[in-house]
């Protein structure tokens, strides 16, 4: 019986980490290393090869056909979440903000529309033919996340376009003709409330769409939608803060955004841990380890933890400890911000932690979402080719 299990373990390439002992009693840290220990703590999964061989699951088998999603879908996820988050933040500032916070409303609605514009072309390019996108509008399926997503994108585009047009008319961008004056009188807040519902939907439906597939790393947990929504809000808050620091926003407004930024990042980290914890064994494709011979897989796992650390280390220890006074608005020096993937950007940075920018968050979120797409479809495919 032991020889049969050993042969099966060798066929599946499952390493025998127990050395014939109880899998719960062996020293995990010494045998697995730091990455495996982090994976076990976050997912709650402890390797048990003997039990896994008896389970009738497909977690350790590659997908029959890897997803054909490429960079278009990855950028659609990122830009769609950014558009929805900016819209919601602008609506909150419009309903509950002071007069000084009106700048958040303007920047939020404009940024939402600009981030939304590439989304339909990205979807159409991914489909290959424009008529496929039109065919999806012929039928509305309530139980289909893809159909709901297309109609949600279309509905949010309508609200985002009208709201941004009203804001542009009020700011005088559209001129002083009768159409602009009529548009400026439209009830922007009344339209922004239902538009925010579609914005939240756009930011989270992509996670629900992934969770409805047969890929275990996506479908095992129900927290993927919440993770995408929290990621969209935190990235959008960082983007608006970054823009306001450039154009020179009031100090009180920046301080409010920093508090919102801190809460969003905290919620995102909680959602990420909840997603990993509820995924359990299926999350090995994200945070698991690889044998020394699989250096490419090990490098991906290391980069995933680095991306998560980029998000968590930007959380201030106490959001109320640092106050924004007029003296701190003066830029003390210029230096190059070596942000991941964006070291080309020369940014003004004050002396304190306030200098973090949306580029750090955006690259970190984009990296984690990209890793979730790529690793889930290719993590075990290489083993299938070697057999």
- The per-residue pLDDT for range 205-248, each reduced to its tens digit, is 888 888 777 676 777 778 888 888 888 888 888 889 888 888 88
Count the Cβ atoms, other than its own, within 10 Å of residue 327: 6
pLDDT at residue 310 greater than cutoff 80: no
* 71-288+297-313 CATH fold: Formate dehydrogenase/DMSO reductase fold (1.20.1630)
Give the model's confidence band at 377: pLDDT under 50 very low, under 70 low, under 90 confident, else very high: low
Q: How far is CA 311 from the centre of its chain?
A: 11
Give the model's confidence band at 252: pLDDT under 50 very low, under 70 low, under 90 confident, else very high: confident
Cβ-proximal residues to 182 (8 Å cutoff; 6+ apart), any chain: none
At 135 the pLDDT is 74
At 227 the pLDDT is 85
Q: Summarize pLDDT for 160-173 with one digit per residue, the tens.
A: 999 999 988 888 88
pLDDT at residue 325 greater than cutoff 60: no
pLDDT at residue 14 greater than cutoff 60: no
Q: Summarize pLDDT for 18-67 with one digit per residue, the tens.
A: 444 434 334 444 445 565 666 666 666 666 655 555 555 555 555 555 66
Q: Which residue has the higher pLDDT, 177 or 290?
A: 177
pTM: 0.69
pLDDT at residue 284 greater than cutoff 80: no
Task: Evaluate whether 46 touches 100 at the Cβ level (below 8 Å).
Answer: no
Q: Summarize pLDDT for 106-140 with one digit per residue, the tens.
A: 999 999 999 999 988 888 887 777 777 777 777 77
Q: What is the mean pLDDT of the chain?
A: 68
CA nearest 372: which of 268, 272, 285?
285
> What are the structural domain ranges in the chain?
71-288+297-313
At 55 the pLDDT is 55
């Amino acid at each position: 019986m032991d020889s049969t299990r050993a042969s099966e373990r060798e066929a599946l390439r499952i390493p025998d980490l127990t050395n014939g002992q109880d899998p719960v009693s062996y020293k995990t840290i010494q045998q697995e290393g730091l990455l495996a220990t982090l994976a076990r703590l976050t997912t709650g999964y402890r390797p048990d090869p003997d039990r896994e061989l008896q389970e009738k699951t497909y977690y350790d088998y590659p997908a029959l056909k890897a997803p054909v999603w490429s960079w278009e879908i990855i950028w659609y996820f990122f830009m769609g979440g950014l558009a929805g988050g900016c819209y919601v933040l602008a609506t909150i500032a419009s309903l509950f903000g002071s007069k000084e916070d009106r700048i958040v409303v303007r920047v939020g609605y404009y940024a939402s529309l600009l981030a939304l514009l590439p989304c339909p072309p990205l979807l159409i390019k991914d489909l290959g033919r424009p008529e496929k996108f039109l065919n999806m509008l012929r039928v509305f399926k309530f139980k289909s996340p893809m159909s709901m997503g297309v109609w949600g994108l279309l509905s949010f585009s309508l609200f985002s376009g009208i709201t941004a047009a009203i804001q542009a008319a009020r700011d005088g961008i559209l001129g002083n003709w009768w159409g602009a004056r009529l548009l400026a009188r439209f009830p922007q807040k009344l339209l922004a409330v239902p538009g925010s519902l579609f914005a939240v939907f756009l930011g989270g439906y992509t996670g629900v769409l992934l969770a409805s597939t047969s890929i275990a790393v996506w479908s095992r947990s129900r927290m993927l939608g919440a993770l995408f929504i929290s990621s969209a809000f935190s990235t959008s808050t960082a983007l608006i803060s970054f823009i306001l620091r450039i154009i020179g926003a009031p100090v009180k407004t920046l301080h409010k955004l920093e508090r919102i930024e801190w809460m969003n990042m905290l919620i995102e980290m909680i959602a990420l841990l909840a997603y990993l914890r509820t995924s359990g064994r299926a999350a090995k494709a994200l945070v698991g380890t690889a044998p020394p011979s699989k250096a490419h897989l090990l490098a991906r796992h290391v980069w995933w933890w680095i991306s998560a650390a980029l998000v968590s280390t930007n959380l201030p220890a106490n959001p109320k400890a640092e106050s924004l006074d007029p003296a701190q608005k003066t830029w003390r020096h210029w230096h190059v911000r070596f942000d991941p993937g964006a070291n080309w950007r020369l940014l003004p940075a004050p002396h304190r932690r306030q200098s973090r920018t949306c580029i750090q968050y955006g690259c970190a979120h984009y990296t984690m979402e990209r890793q979730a797409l790529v690793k889930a479809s290719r993590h075990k495919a290489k083993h299938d080719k070697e057999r």
